[in-house]
Structure 1
Amino acid sequence: MRRLIPALAAVALLAAAAPALAQDLRVTRADGTSAAVTAAALADLPRATVTVAGGSGSQVYEGPALAYVMRAAGLPVGMRAHGEPMKGYLVVRGADGYAAVLSAAEADKALHEDVVILADRLDGQPLPDKEGPWRLVVDDDIRPWRSVRQVVAIDHRLAE
């Protein structure tokens, strides 16, 4: 037992020193079903960059385009977004409870020119723990108020 305690303490110290591992992203569809998009699946999606100007200079965020995340989760994008899905919107939620809303069409690269990404890198480095594993970044927002940090879930809903 005495040997086990130092070993457990060493494991705990290593775990505390390691960066947080990315967990699955939960996406709930408008019909109530959900999908878990793995960190590995997100890493394989087509990527984009968004440059955000700030008081201390510009920052470059990089990650999968949200349209591809939507497609991976089975949400209607592109030609499938015509008709009823045009009433769709996304609620992007952070671990701290903060949430932001954007229309599904606004996130779809086939329908809207601005880039919306689920960033996992900042200035070429993995996001810091206070922002990651993912951060919603919307190109051309004047203020970054929809830039949800520590994204854990995306809910797709239809307006009435």
Structure 2
Amino acid sequence: MRPFLLASLLLVLAAPAAAQDVTISRADGTEVTLSAADLADLPRAQVSVTGAAGPKLYEGPPLAYVMRAAGLPVGMRAHGDPMRGYLVVRGADGYAAVISAFEADKDLHGDVAILADTVDGERLPEREGPRRVVIADDLKSWRSVRKVVAIDYRLAD
């Protein structure tokens, strides 16, 4: 009985790991997949959001670091054509939102945008996670894509 329980537990723990990967498409059509371990190694930031239930503190890597890890132009590399860049963040449920690459880059914009994996010190609840985009100072959370599975970087014409 114990080996069966252990095997079942290992399967349950292994399933969410794949769901935590985030695929990032570059403007040239190439893709990179960042694993949960890749994302865990990135620096972290916090964003406080006040909702109907009161304030919540989200934490995760800033989108600028996620972009850098995927080989996207950020900081000084974002000068010129990359100023036309934008991100289409997609959730597992098909919901998507657009964020300009400029406002996602903490080196170029005052607000912080993060790929949160915790809220108030706990893992995101299943209805939100394992990853959620949270943008500081958005008055509505409509761009706060839940269950993020992909980020597409594109250039406007």
TM-score (normalised: structure 1): 0.89
Q: CA deviation at 1:14?
A: 6.9
| Equivalent in 44, 49, 54 of residue 47 of structure 1 | 44
Letter in 1 for 2:61: P
2:38 corresponds to 1:38: no
Structure 2, unpaired ranges of 5+: none
| Residue of structure 1 in register with 2:94 after alignment | 97
Structure having the higher Rg: 1
**Partners in 2 of 1:10 and 1:37 — Cα distance?**
28
| Equivalent in 65, 79, 82 of residue 79 of structure 2 | 82
Task: Report the number of matched residues.
Answer: 155
TM-score (normalised: structure 2): 0.91
Partner SS, residue 40 of structure 1? helix
Cα RMSD between the aligned structures? Answer: 2.1
Letter in 2 for 1:44: D
Q: Percent identity?
A: 65
2:107 corresponds to 1:110: yes
Structure 1, unpaired ranges of 5+: none
2:112 corresponds to 1:123: no
| Residue of structure 1 in register with 2:139 after alignment | 142
**Partners in 2 of 1:136 and 1:52 — Cα distance?**
12
